[in-house]
Chain A
């Protein structure tokens, strides 16, 4: 099993810089500083590393979009980890904060950034403390600050705690939040690489992405690109949750069949059968058991009708009712819609209202079509992708598990007839 990010994850005290260094920590940085920034950028480009935060955008390409010759530039690490089902960044931050710091330094060096922020979701107060301690250690050893390892390169990294808002995981909302505003998303373009934090060119990357930069630079682009499929290179942390025996975070080579990942998590519970799975967090369509052999990579999951998203594999066995879970997710999106745009603000609430009716046995047959049409009216019409995320479970649930809806609807009819 290839382990790049999780290689030493269970080493006792890894969060301590001594332990981290003992396991080869900051060696990559030392070597990298002997190269030119452009060379690091090229390596990351050539490795095929894609963003692990959800959208899967090629990381090196994103870095190369930074507006030329505009300084200061910023690096922002997205540690908002807010996509339901996702808990991998938490494990990285908890156990291996120095890996992230090293990754951030490499990114900053490649992108000629001198100030970085780690935007940590407010609930991760404990991790913020761990990360700040790690920062202190890194400053002490000269990995951060002025003239890092006696080079010309300077970098300061600060933490910034969020305060409870899913939408702040979306990069432009995150930047607003970091600037001290409401976490409403911004108009794009301009993209952060051109006008990001404080209007300056900014790289925003997920925790896992930045961590992955370390093995990419360490082993070289070719070695990294040798892993995975044609368009999905390297390894991915998958958070497996729900109805499996041993839920947890697993590092898998992209392209591993989803069923194997479920097996890694101990497989289904005693006497239970797989019913549905959400491969990439609550924002992506759910798939039926029949698709469980789909290779876990960006293009295969897309071909199967879903997305890899943030790598949160939520497993449901035959005890689950899709309508009930969809209602739960719908309630989440209603709660988390920032309220800025009309279709998302109103649509998430309306979907929730209708799903609630169906779930509680008061639904009507027309409701299914209405749910679909409301979803269509939201689809790609909202200000940011949250609206599209909100309709994914609804549409995929109806498409793949219509029987769960129909059962509740026929109960409703029976109830009405009995009255």
Chain B
């Protein structure tokens, strides 16, 4: 069973007032995000609950959820590293940096470390191109990456 926590409920309230009452479907992205913030990922039960809240079929919720890349439908690590691999970063050698990161974490891209601390993902352009190479860990940007800087950042999170 999935239930929104008290904090989540408050956050939901704040989101719902943004939209006309008969358009509460607009809040689906926010509710998915809140569910994910609460549990780390969006479970099937969470989708059903969101459907109930917004008068949507659970299939609809899954359909929307699966369209966007920022929702995880399986548990992820405490820190999700989104590593930009788009052209501006690519020109500045992000491939090697990504490989470096993977090696350091001892996982493949797309995987989560055994201690559930880190998940490493490839990400399309993060819109910090003039400070490439870039990665985003949870909600924070890290720019002008070098192997040393990456090591430093990861070590500080351990």
Direct contact of A and B (CB under 8 A): yes
CA separation between A336 and B124, bound complex, in Å?
9
Chain B interface size, under 10 / 10 to 19 / 20 to 34 / 35 or more: 35 or more
Chain A interface size, under 10 / 10 to 19 / 20 to 34 / 35 or more: 35 or more
> Is B114 an interface residue when CB atoms closer than 8 A count as contact?
no
Q: Which of B20, B28, B68, B140 is A164 in contact with, Cβ under 8 Å?
A: B68
CB-based contact A332/B91 at 8 Å: no
> Is A58 an interface residue when CB atoms closer than 8 A count as contact?
no
CB-based contact B129/A182 at 8 Å: no
Chain B residue contacts of A90, Cβ below 8 A: 127-128
* A84-B129 contact given A180-B27, A180-B29, A182-B63, CB 8 Å threshold: yes
A375 to chain B, nearest CB (A): 18
* A160-B139 contact given A84-B87, A85-B87, CB 8 Å threshold: no
CA separation between A159 and B64, bound complex, in Å?
19
CB-based contact A87/B129 at 8 Å: yes
CA separation between A117 and B87, bound complex, in Å?
30
Chain A residue contacts of B120, Cβ below 8 A: none
What is the predominant secondary structure among interface residues of chain B facing chain A?
mixed
Binds A, one of B2-10, B97-105, B130-138: B130-138
Q: Which of A84, A179, A338 is B125 in contact with, Cβ under 8 Å?
A: A84
Chain B residue contacts of A282, Cβ below 8 A: 86-87, 125
Binds B, one of A3-11, A28-36, A120-128, A293-301: A120-128
> Is B54 an interface residue when CB atoms closer than 8 A count as contact?
yes
CA separation between A163 and B129, bound complex, in Å?
19
Chain B residue contacts of A86, Cβ below 8 A: 125, 127, 129
A198 to chain B, nearest CB (A): 6
CB-based contact A163/B85 at 8 Å: no
CB-based contact B87/A180 at 8 Å: no
CA separation between A280 and B64, bound complex, in Å?
30
Chain A, range 218-243, C-beta contacts under 8 Å to B: 239-243
B148 to chain A, nearest CB (A): 20
Closest to A328 in B: B90
Which of B54, B69, B87, B92: most chain A CB closer than 10 A?
B87
Nearest 3 Cβ contacts at the A-B interface: A163-B68, A180-B25, A164-B69
Report A's interface with B, CB cutoff 8 A: 81-87, 89-90, 117, 121-126, 158-166, 177-184, 198, 239-243, 247-249, 278, 282, 312, 314, 316, 320, 325, 328-329, 332, 335-336, 338
